[in-house]
Amino acid sequence: MLKQRINYLVLATLLCGMAASAKTPPEVVAQLGKELTPMGAIRQGSDDGLLPPWTGTIQGLPEGLEWDGPGTPYPNPWPDEKPVLVITKDNMAQHSARLSPGQIAMFETYPETFRMPVYPGHREFAYYDNFYNKVRYNAENAELINDNEGIKGFIGGPAFPVPSTGPEVVWLTRTTGAYETREGEYSDIAVFSNGTQSVRRSSFLEEATYSRANVELVKENEYPNLGHFAGFVMTNVLEPARDKGLITSVFEPFDYATNAREVWRYLPGSRRVRRAPTVGFDTPDGPGGLKTVDEVRGFNGAMERFEWQLIGRQEMFIPYHNYDFDTPGLDYSVLLPQFHANPDYMRYELKRVWVAEGTLREGKRHIYGKRRIYVDEDTGLTAITENYDGRGELWKVVLFNNIYEYNGKAYVRRVQMYHDLRAGAYIAERLINDSNPMLYDINPPRGEAYFAPANIRKLGKR
């Protein structure tokens, strides 16, 4: 095993120096499903056992676990587990090698309240079979084009399972979707420094043609042959009353050099649909404007303002399997107190993450001068991001929850928490404690026309 690990580290070092447009080397592709997992993760666990070896022995609902099916709460598969350790400000130094600078800053900023309960690690869940087939296809064929703004040879699913550059890390997490449709209602809540909350509740619909589970792996289904847009997102504000009826529809490309993001809005006051001006980069977003548009899901949109570099892969305690956070009926005053979410409902596990750092390009403008993204190797989902100001001082820390979705046999992003360390405030997004869980690939896709301005106008006037 030690020889295997040394060989892999040598290979990873060689990969770091490769050009951004290069395909994954055949010798790396050959390791998928062997020395590496089908997702490109290191199969073996950590030396101390906190990170177990990957097995992938469970697809879907674990045997013996009772669940009422899609649209009902997901049961925690390990309800009786207790933390193997709890990290606090007092013992943080002992575990600092496995903490990000942002997590350390959370301990330093909120020493009396922030803590991280670390649970036994689990790597037995596996994605559906064709997901891994898509991973391999992309590893063999996908490459970045147009100064990393676009992609070709890509058929949906994770594009770069073993990224060799910073942009490939970013593209890994933005292509890792496993579902074609996602629909439901959720709440976004901003919690300000005095503990007061601002709630925005919305209905949500997302369609991503290139994330189709049963897609045939042929060149005709590569981007952009199924359409020039990666996906479509529509939100309809249900509360607060002053914003009720505001509909936003987003057309998101997979090549920002060829197709810009399109955003359309129905304004209930004027009963008109307007194309929004540029919505991206550091446009304020969410209740209280505590985050930027381009930090949703870690980093999104055009790459033009930041130069991304691969830092490497490391072991880190990250939020994982956060079923208890979604406990139905849990009062938001309990779940979301001042400063950060209630640690009693958080779960962390030791994982390996890909780390990339983006530095603002000379002559470009953004409220962030530097940002880091930490991407889980087993899922390709963002786990943590950190954003720094123009002086290099850490400003904002984002934590991402996830769960394994039993029906679709895939991991999904759950609540995303954006912490403004200076303001002492944060936003928690995609909360479902007061509603039913999202529906993943349950309803058939409506198609591009449903998200178009003409239909938004009809929906708004109902």
Is the whole-model pTM more than 0.85? yes
CA–CA dist 121, 372 (Å, integer) = 24
Q: What is the pLDDT of residue 35?
A: 94
Q: What are phi and psi of 249, to 5 degrees?
A: -125, 130
The CA distance from 111 to 105, in Å, is 9
- Enclosing H/E stretch for 7: helix 2-16
**Structural contact between residues 396 and 288, judged by C-beta atoms closer than 8 angstroms:** no
Pair 435, 222: CB distance under 8 Å: no
Closest CA to 295 of 414, 445, 416, 404: 416
CB 307 within 8 A of CB 211: no
Q: For the chain, what is the domain count?
A: 1
> In which region does residue 9 sit, left (phi positive, over 0), alpha (psi from -120 to 50) or beta (all else)?
alpha
Going from the first residue of the chain to its last (462 residues), give the mean pLDDT of each consecutive group of 10, the final group possibly shorter: 37 44 86 97 96 98 98 98 98 98 98 98 98 98 96 95 97 96 97 96 97 97 95 96 95 93 93 85 84 90 95 98 98 98 98 98 96 98 97 97 98 98 97 97 97 95 70
The predicted structure's pLDDT at residue 15: 46
**Are 19 and 147 contacting, i.e. CB atoms less than 8 angstroms apart?**
no
CATH of the domain at 265: 2.50.20.10
DSSP code per residue over 134-191:
HHHHHHHH-EEETTTTEEES--SS-S-SS--SHHHHHHHHHS----SEEEEEEEEEEE
Residue with tokens 């074609």: 180
Looking up tokens 């890994």 gives: 172
Residue 419 bridge partners (DSSP): 397, 426
Instruction: List the helix and strand counts (H, then E) for the chain.
Output: 7, 20
Give the 3-state secondary structure of 230-298. EEEEEEEEEECHHHCCCEEEEEEECECCCCCCEEEEEECCCCEEEECCCCCCCCEECHHHCEEHHHCCC
Residue 143, strand partner residues: 152
Query: Tokens 């909360």 appear where?
Result: 431
The candidate with the shortest Cα–Cα distance to 256, out of 174, 138, 146, is 146
| Nearest CA among 59, 94, 64 for reference residue 78 | 64
Q: So what's the pLDDT on residue 462?
A: 65
Rg, C-alpha atoms of the chain: 21
Domain interval for residue 432: 2-461
Q: Cα–Cα distances in Å, from 322 out to 69, 78, 268, 312, 390?
A: 18, 11, 36, 26, 33
- CB neighbour burial string for 195-212, b if at least 16 within 10 angstroms, e if fewer: eebbebbbeebbbbbbbb
Residue 196's identity, in one-letter code, is T
